Amino acid sequence: MERSFLVVLAIGVVAAAGLALVSPYFSLMALVIVGVVLMVLKIGADTHDLPDLQVEFSDDARAVIVENKGNAPAHGVHVSLVPIGIEADIPSLDPDASHLVPLSEQVAEVKALVTYRNGRGQEFRRSMVISALHPTGDLLRPSFALFRWK
């Protein structure tokens, strides 16, 4: 386990034991608070070093915009657009950065296949259908990566 996780757990157990002498209710409240803090630490560790690439058309549908909406840089990004056969390689894409892939003509709808790696070398693959006529995006998607949503 991580050191911060163990430190919070140890402090919480000692505080709960001390409060048990005063009142068992205070002790239970301390255990609930420690549990919440431990869950926050676990979620924070789970969402660390997690790039999130989104692909969409530009306004005139003459280019594809690859944007990193995650919290870590994406390395070795490869974008393939099916069925028009356009492929692009991007060496690195920082968080909140975008890269424009120009198209030779306007396209109404394509399927984008994206592969990339995070800083630890973990590889991710995404497949999404993008359309110039219909809005894309998952309305139920959380605003940050929660419980390995990807």
Residues contacting 129, CB < 8 A, separation 6+: 109, 110, 111, 112, 136
The enclosing domain of 84 has a CATH number of 2.60.40.2890
- Statement to judge: residues 88 and 119 lie in one domain: yes
- Statement to judge: residues 70 and 119 lie in one domain: yes
Identity (one letter) of the amino acid at 91?
P
Residue 55 has pLDDT above 60, yes or no: yes
- Statement to judge: residues 7 and 27 lie in one domain: yes
Report the percentage of the chain scoring pLDDT > 90: 43
d(CA 90, CA 82): 18
pTM for the full model? 0.69
Range of the domain at 122: 53-131
**Which of 46, 66, 81 marks a domain boundary?**
46
Residue 149 within any structural domain of the chain: no
- Statement to judge: residues 67 and 109 lie in one domain: yes
Residue 31 has pLDDT above 90, yes or no: yes
